A and B are shown apart, each in its own frame.
Chain A
Amino acid sequence: MRARVLIRPKAGILDPQGEAVKRALPALGFDGVGDVRVGRLVELDVADPAQLQAMCEKLLANPLVEDYELQLLDGSA
């Protein structure tokens, strides 16, 4: 099973990368850019999707500072 994990900085935590992007876009002529947050994407094949949450909690994300979202691919999501 192909799975996708989206990892984001938690709300309220300063995201300097997002701030930098937010400032860079108007400089390129793109107006109307609001809040920007930059996260991480992990795609992986797993035999047992039930283990994904534990994988996230233990390694893929740091639950103290990051939120994660699981998506199962292969059309079943």
Chain B
Amino acid sequence: MKFGVIQFPGSCDEVDALAAAARVGEAALLWHGDRDLRGADAIIVPGGFSYGDYLRAGAIARFAPVMESVIAFARDGGLVLGICNGFQVLCEAGLLPGALLGNANRRFTSRQVALRVERADTPFTRTCAPGARLSIPAKHACGRYYADELTLDALQARGQVVLRYAPGHNFNGSLRDIAGVCNEAGNVLGLMPHPEHAVDELVGGSADGLALFQSIARTPQAPAAGGVGAGAG
């Protein structure tokens, strides 16, 4: 499994994403100005402050040359994981439903959060037990997941809510405690907390984040046919 990790000007978590991916496969950095994904089997859009978060988080990064290729890759069924700012970029790009708004507490908040795995049958969570609890750090100012009620009901019905904040851990005010959602086909996942920062008990507080990278590594490399839901998206 070859991971490609995107680097935008202002990214800051690409190094940890590379290190996490390198624990389970090969990993290479992909520059935002390049359209070439260099044969990557899975793409990680990492955290940080791409293009300074100007205008809205992810609004400008979404039009970077590399994103044209990432969007085409995702439409063809390729695995794409967006973490924090990467989640914001994927929402802005229309690869994931909804938007991330300013935290309800109005503060940049950095803390360990507990997540509940709602779907353990996605390419990103297949090594987790259903209902498993993951302890992973979160650090952001704009992580309040928002979609209108109709969309939220549809996401729920189609099983696109992959991760939720455990009771008492939804510090940013995300609607329905949503921490991570996938697209309808199941090959694109975005989440606000940082699994790449939790791959080593010594420095991450837990190694629970590794499960996401292991799951991707164990996914057959032609993922288009194996998504969650109806797969019609």
Contact = CB atoms under 8 A, between A and B. Distances in A.
Partners in one complex: yes
Interface of A: 9, 13-14, 16-17, 19-20, 59-60, 62, 64-65
Contact of A16 (B56, B99, B105): B105
Contacts of B55: 59-60
A64 B55 CA distance: 15
Nearest to A12: B148
30 contacts: A9-B101, A13-B101, A13-B146, A14-B101, A14-B104, A14-B144, A14-B173, A16-B102, A16-B103, A16-B104, A16-B105, A16-B106, A16-B173, A17-B102, A17-B106, A19-B106, A20-B106, A59-B55, A59-B60, A59-B63, A60-B55, A62-B59, A62-B99, A64-B98, A64-B99, A64-B146, A64-B147, A65-B99, A65-B101, A65-B146
A20 B106 CA distance: 8
B115 to A, nearest CB: 22
B13 interface: no
B92 A62 contact: yes
A-B complex: 3 closest residue pairs judged by Cβ atoms: A16-B106, A65-B99, A64-B99
Given A13-B146, A14-B173, A62 B102 contact: no
Contacts, number: 33
B106 A62 contact: no
A59 B173 CA distance: 25
Nearest to B60: A59
Greatest chain A CB density within 10 A among B56, B60, B98, B104 is at: B56
A62 B173 CA distance: 19
Interface residues of B, number: 18
Interface of B: 55-56, 59-60, 63, 92, 98-99, 101-106, 144, 146-147, 173
Given A16-B103, A16-B173, A60-B55, 17 more contacts: A9-B101, A14-B144, A14-B173, A16-B102, A16-B104, A16-B106, A17-B106, A19-B106, A20-B106, A59-B63, A62-B59, A62-B92, A64-B98, A64-B99, A64-B146, A65-B99, A65-B146
Contacts of A65: 99, 101, 146
A57 to B, nearest CB: 12
Contacts of B147: 64
A17 B144 CA distance: 13
Contacts of A9: 101
A20 B173 CA distance: 15
Contacts of A64: 98-99, 146-147
Contacts of A60: 55
A19 B92 CA distance: 25
Given A13-B101, A64-B98, A59 B106 contact: no
B106 to A, nearest CB: 4
Contacts of A59: 55, 59-60, 63
